[in-house]
Amino acid sequence: MEIPLLISRFPVMTHAHMEEITTDIKNFFQTDAFHILNRNTAQYGDYMAAGALYCIYIYPLGDTQKLKAISRYFAYWALIDDLYFDNSIDLDHIQQISDRYTAALEGIPNGDKLFAPVTEFCARTDWQEDAKNLFRNEVKRYLNAVIQLRITEAHKKVISVQEYLSYRHFNVAMWVIFSLLYDTQDDLEMSMFYSPEFAEIFEYSSMCIGILLDLYNLNAHKAEISDYTNLVYVVRRADHCSEEEAINKSIRLFYDYEARMEEACNRLAATCPRAVLYFKYVQSGSVRYCNESRKMRYLQKSDIDEDQANGRTIL
């Protein structure tokens, strides 16, 4: 079954300084940081877009200089995820990479060149300390979820749909994405981040994007070890159904969770209008980026792959 493009119900917007941000990420892509590319990541990783376009779509009202830094971080983060997490079931090595990632977040001086871009991102002088701590905490939750899902994959554990989604919704790292709003915007109240009202929105968004990514990765050229960590396979085993039925159930789940997110946003619109606006842009921008990346990062095997050049991008 051909995987359709999923459409968000929320408004979209593009950052006014798109060209400036994309020029910066193109320069970053030429640095030594990306010498670790392999065939899979060079051909389908599309890291310039994973950094610049994604930032431009999800933070359309954010500070331009900060978005340049976040764009660089996103591009490199996507590469690390592709190289060391999505395509490995070596749990000892994954734990070592996670530990090195955490050390870089904390700024521990150990000369780790692999995570130098992460250390540099966290060492920025324009951070508010509480915003940086929020970001660090959410990245650690992402890393914990990565390990939980890699354990599931390595041990070929058959788990329920809800158990899978409970791991996936942190693994997809939308909580990290939402936490960075507190760096890009200066009109958000930090104390509200973990409030039940905000957490509900973040959870629904995370479920949506996790489902969307699983659908887009299902038949994509980009390699990924996910026989037990893709929602479609989890649904097939749980419900004893065909792939087509599992795909359709997953699509319905996406739209159900986004409808719940809209309801949660509507409940907060009167008291937190700016926050709700930012949250909607994160959601719609994530969907928009993934849809546009179907041309590259999530190119389906049923599509014609005309350009085999390394380092290609949709930018």
Residue range 256-275, pLDDT digits in tens: 999 999 999 999 999 999 99
Inside any domain, residue 306 = no
Q: Is residue 94 part of a domain?
A: yes
Residue 121 in domain: yes
* The one-letter amino acid at 156: K
- Residue 307 reports pLDDT greater than 70: no
Please write the tens of the pLDDT for every residue from 120-134. 999 999 999 999 999
DSSP letter assigned to residue 10: S
What 3-state DSSP class applies to 220? strand
Mean pLDDT of the residues in the chain:
94
48 CB-side CA count, 13 A: 22
Residue 287 belongs to a domain: yes
In this structure, is residue 263 part of a structural domain? yes
Token pair 């779509």 is found at: 57
Residue 184 has pLDDT above 70, yes or no: yes
For 149, the token pair is: 């899902």
Return the pLDDT at 111. 83
Decide if pLDDT at 51 tops 60: yes
What is the share, in percent, of the chain residues with pLDDT greater than 90?
89
Across the strands, what pairs with 220? 300
The CA-CA-CA angle for residues 11, 181, 277, to 5°, reads 30
Domain count, the chain: 1
pLDDT confidence of residue 2 = 86
Give the residue numbers spanning the domain of 281: 18-295
Is there a domain that residue 63 lies in? Answer: yes
Q: For 149-171, what is the mean pLDDT?
A: 96
Determine, yes or no, domain membership for 274. yes
pTM above 0.85?
yes
Question: Mean of the pLDDT values across residues 286-309?
Answer: 84
Q: Any idea what the CATH number is for the domain that residue 246 is in?
A: 1.10.600.10
Query: What is the pLDDT averaged over residues 62-85?
Result: 97
Average pLDDT over residues 186-202: 96
How sure is the predictor about 303, in pLDDT bands with cuts at 50, 70 and 90? confident
pLDDT band at 308 (very low <50, low <70, confident <90, very high): low
Contact 88, 225 (CB under 8 A): yes
Looking at residue 62, its pLDDT comes to: 97
- H-assigned helices in 219-308: 231-239, 243-268, 273-292
Residue 295 is predicted with a pLDDT of 86
Q: Is residue 57 predicted with pLDDT exceeding 90? A: yes
The reply to whether 76 falls in a domain is yes
